[in-house]
Amino acid sequence: MNIGFDLDKIFINFPPLIPPKVIDLLYKEKTKQGLKYRIPSRIERSLRILSHHPFLRSPITKNLDFLKKNLSTGKNNYYLISSRFDFLKDRTDDLIKRYDLDRIFKAMYFNYLNKQPHEFKNEILEKLKLDMYADDDLQLLEYLADKNPRTKFFWLNDKINKILKKNIFAIKHISEMFK
């Protein structure tokens, strides 16, 4: 199977002391046309570069360890699909090396052309013909699920486990994707 994963909040934590709702406010725009993400200003870019320092971005070891243990089966191809913008390339490269992510994933895709994250991820999902995809952004998953009805989507969260839509499932740990 071809299985894709987002990076942040799946394998890398958000910076400590910043609530996820604040991050959503900084990243997403309110619009009547649907989902839209903000392209940060120069000052915001500098702040984000600082907030993406590896010291502030610890690994989510339970998820990384689970994938590493399942690599040996050879049954699945794992892909990392992150909508991180171009200005975070150096920080992202540092995290990949630091946590050996290039040894886990068959390929990694990053939004270095600064497209809208949901559109970027949809392009990659269609290209890879993924069977499953996990992300922490429910709005993004709802957009992708409508565009990719044959893919199973998993919303990784800390609160609930249940079916949200025909092809969106709420899970607390990535191991639940394989049940």
Report helix angle 117-128 to 138-147, nearest 10.
40
pLDDT for the residue 73: 75
- Bridging pattern class, strands 2-5 and 132-135: parallel
- pLDDT tens, N- to C-terminus, the chain (179 residues): 999 999 999 999 987 766 666 666 666 666 666 788 888 889 888 888 888 888 889 999 999 999 998 887 778 999 999 999 999 999 999 999 999 999 999 999 999 999 999 999 999 999 999 999 999 999 999 999 999 999 999 999 988 888 898 899 999 999 999 88
pTM: 0.91
Domain count, the chain: 1
CATH number of the domain enclosing 174: 3.40.50.1000
DSSP 116: -
The residue segments making up the domain with residue 78 are 2-178
